[in-house]
DNA sequence: TTGTAAGCGTTATCAT
DNA sequence: ATGATAACGCTTACAA
């Protein structure tokens, strides 16, 4: 920067003003132009670290997550990254492997880098315990929540998801709609069932407990539940699966019985895992989680927190992705 | 840091030495202890940015990639992250969306942060064009290469992959092994076919061109190719698919004809996409890409470059993941 | 074994 | 409209 200043015969101060495009200082257009020319000519590139040190703004945001290892929920990173970029912030992503000692260590090092905020994101909707140092910096939780629900968080609307999936099946003419839910007690499980029952109630269909199964979130889980449901005396004509993986298993069980999708049995999945949903035959209609928006929203909340806003809880609902199974 | 120094009645210098654990300076154990105690007590945390500014080492490595958006190849990030962490380096990950203007902008900003090296990683094995500024900093390419092959790179061993997949099928007793390859001309396509032919040659099986198909890397592509292959007069008894997605389609075509896997037809996939491979029925035996190692190797190469090594080209081969389809 | 002092590359506060 | 000068929080010769 000194070089630039010397080169154009101005002071460092002036150069700094020009480069930062400050409008509150009067600098002649001629000087401005000369500075920029020199910048080009000398190939000058401001040192962000030095800027941070002097200005006390690092423009760094931490993202601690267990997502990088898995194919799941990458949209969160994606959405956050994009939103951060637009705000001129850089995301420092650290994968915690879901290990809380690691999370703690990661946060320490990020605090050493003087991040202005931190996001904790998980690949499944669940409870986490935060490192103590989380209270030292604005914190937002994505797809997870802390015991005391003390931190602002961005969560998917499980109820709405359960509702729209079920309603889609009802609209297709089904009255006996089964729900293959995830393991009991999970936030997703609870919420989706509420949505499911709400949709049935709205259509005047009584809830039949025999049509509600729970299983592991795997193809095998889906296969077994579906097989059992199809054995029922009054078997369902539609099945709403808790995950696309389960739907994958459901397809097998259905095809094995020579039934066709969606003519004989309608199927709706959950998660919109492209890789499964769009390559299943027929392509799977499924409820998507709004991962991108969740990530972006987290950045937005952090920005809001920085300007004095108070932390809320944001519930985002995802759309139904129509393909061909319902 | 001044606070610490004052608190223990020593100079900043001494405190700095203690904190950096410098062994080339003699400092009494007593002083050391007192410094650490004060650090704890005052909750002091070194400012990494200031350290970088003074020491001219940022410990920052850039990773520009199109991977974050997709479920694919996340292992690269994972492996790189882990390796970097162990070296005390922080990975600055930016997703380029595969857009080269974006890549350029990302690199500019990373250079502003004074990264000590940069990694370009892609989700598919392909050619990329690097921003000009790439020459300003040590650069390593992962899963991709530049026109002039001027930059050191880490690539998967496509030949070995083609070889081990084919050999597995031959070892299972098959003599008519089909290859459903990816679109012609891709590095993966070419390499794998070489490996395929090598395995056949080794077993004394002549290459039958009718058994070599190419299609799009989708379930539909796999389905169509498989269907055509099974119509052949001398149909194959084993199929080696270019991707797990294609294998997914192959499964459908095979099952549709009432054939069983692996009893009637052996299938091997490529990619080891957990989500597909382990949930297909039967679980898919497939060739894995060594993404984790590739990411870690890239960090290793960057470290080597920093200590004066010259850039090579590293070819890493992945293992065959045995499940139940062959 | 410890301390002094000069940077590192910026921004920010005042002057002029 | 522009410039001096003092931070920012640390490292590192060089001295003592």
Low-confidence ranges of chain A (pLDDT < 50): none
A270-309 confidence digits (pLDDT tens): 999 988 898 888 999 999 999 999 999 999 999 999 988 8
Contact A38, A8 (CB under 8 A): yes
Bridge partners of B120?
B64, B141
Contacts of B86 (CB under 8 A, 6+ apart): none
Q: Is the CB of A47 under 7 A from strand D?
A: no
What is the average pLDDT across B10-15?
Answer: 90
B119-167 confidence digits (pLDDT tens): 999 999 999 999 999 999 999 999 999 999 999 999 999 999 999 999 9
Distances (CA, A) of B101 to A92, B121, B134, B174: 21, 16, 13, 49
Contacts of A152 (CB under 8 A, 6+ apart): A139, A140, A141, A301, A305, A311, A312, A313, A314
Assess B86–A contact: CB distance below 8 Å, yes or no: no
Q: How many CB atoms lie within 10 A of CB B45?
A: 14
A93-130 confidence digits (pLDDT tens): 999 888 989 999 999 999 999 999 999 999 999 999 99
Using a CB-CB distance cutoff of 8 angstroms, which residues of chain B are in contact with residue A58? 49
Question: Residue B69's pLDDT is what?
Answer: 65
Assess A77–B contact: CB distance below 8 Å, yes or no: yes
What's the CA A12/C1' D6 distance, rounded, in angstroms?
A: 14
Assess A245–B contact: CB distance below 8 Å, yes or no: yes
B219-243 confidence digits (pLDDT tens): 899 999 999 999 999 999 999 999 9
Question: Residue B82's pLDDT is what?
Answer: 94
Q: What is the pTM of this model?
A: 0.93
Question: Residue B309's pLDDT is what?
Answer: 86
Using a CB-CB distance cutoff of 8 angstroms, which residues of chain A are in contact with residue B249? 279, 281
B281–A109 CB contact, under 8 Å: no
The DSSP call for residue B186 is: -
Question: Residue B71's pLDDT is what?
Answer: 67
Which residue has its C-alpha nearest to nucleotide D3's C1'?
A11
Question: How far is C-alpha B190 from the chain's CA centre?
Answer: 19
B273-321 confidence digits (pLDDT tens): 988 898 888 999 999 999 999 999 999 999 999 988 888 899 999 999 9
A94–B77 CB contact, under 8 Å: no
What's the CA A31/C1' C13 distance, rounded, in angstroms?
A: 22
Question: How far is C-alpha B93 from the chain's CA centre?
Answer: 14
Assess A95–B contact: CB distance below 8 Å, yes or no: yes
B200-216 confidence digits (pLDDT tens): 999 999 999 999 999 99
Bridge partners of B91?
B61
Q: State the DSSP string of B243-298.
A: SHHHHHHHHHHHHHTT--TTTT-EEEEEE--HHHHTTSSSPPEEEEP-HHHHHHHH
Query: What angle (nearest 5°) sits at the alpha carbon of residue A213, between those of residues A210 and A219?
Result: 145
């Amino acid at each position: 920067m000194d070089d630039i200043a010397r080169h154009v015969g101005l002071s460092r101060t002036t150069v700094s003003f020009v480069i930062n495009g400050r409008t509150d200082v009067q600098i002649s257009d001629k000087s401005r132009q000369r500075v920029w020319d020199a910048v080009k000519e000398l190939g000058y590139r401001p040192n962000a670290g030095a800027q941070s040190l002097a200005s006390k703004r690092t423009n760094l945001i931490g993202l601690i997550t267990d997502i990088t290892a898995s194919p799941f929920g990458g949209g969160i990173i994606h959405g956050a990254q994009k939103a951060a970029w637009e705000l001129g912030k850089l995301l420092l992503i650290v994968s915690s492997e879901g290990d809380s000692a690691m999370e703690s260590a990661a946060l320490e090092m990020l605090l050493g880098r003087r991040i202005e905020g931190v996001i904790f994101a998980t690949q499944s909707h669940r409870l986490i315990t935060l490192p103590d140092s989380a209270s030292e910096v604005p914190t937002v939780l994505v797809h997870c929540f802390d015991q005391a629900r003390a931190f602002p968080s961005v969560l998917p609307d499980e109820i709405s998801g359960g509702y729209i999936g079920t309603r889609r099946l009802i609209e297709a003419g089904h009255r006996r709609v089964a729900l293959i839910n995830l393991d009991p007690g999970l936030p997703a499980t609870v919420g989706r069932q509420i949505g499911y029952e709400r949709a049935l109630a709205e259509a005047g269909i009584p809830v039949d407990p025999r049509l509600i199964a729970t299983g592991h979130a795997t193809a095998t889980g889906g296969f077994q539940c579906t097989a059992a449901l199809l054995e029922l005396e009054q078997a369902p004509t539609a099945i709403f699966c808790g995950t696309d993986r389960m739907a994958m298993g459901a397809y097998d069980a259905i095809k094995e019985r020579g039934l066709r999708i969606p003519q004989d049995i309608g199927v709706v999945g959950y998660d919109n895992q492209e890789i499964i949903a769009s390559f299943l035959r027929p392509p799977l209609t499924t409820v998507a989680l709004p991962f991108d928006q969740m990530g972006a929203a987290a950045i937005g909340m952090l920005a809001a927190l920085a300007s004095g806003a108070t932390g809320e809880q944001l519930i985002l609902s995802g759309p139904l992705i129509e393909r061909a199974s319902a």
